[in-house]
Amino acid sequence: MDADDNLPLRGEAPIALLVREDLDRLSVAELHARVATLDGEIARTKRKIEGAVNHRASADALFKS
């Protein structure tokens, strides 16, 4: 079984699938783990945004000189 076997067949964004996932089947421990994982992903995304903003500011400063 390939890792790709778990991917959706359609071109739907993974985040769209995530928000529609049935949470009723998950235990409290699984829900806590999900929240911890999502918190980590939020932090990673915010770091990426910050890096992109800083990169843009550096580029703008370079070309304004």
Q: Tens of pLDDT along 5-39?
A: 666 566 789 999 999 999 999 999 999 999 999 99
Banded model confidence at residue 59, pLDDT cuts 50, 70, 90:
confident
Q: What is the pLDDT of residue 19?
A: 94
Domain count, the chain: 1
| pLDDT for residue 1 | 52
Structural domain for 36, as ranges:
26-65
Q: The pTM is what?
A: 0.65
Cα(54)–Cα(8) distance, integer angstroms: 35
**Confidence (pLDDT) at 61:** 80
Determine, yes or no, domain membership for 19.
no
Domain membership flag for residue 17:
no
Contact 8, 17 (CB under 8 A): yes
Reading phi first (left if > 0) and then psi (alpha if -120 to 50, else beta), residue 10 is in: beta
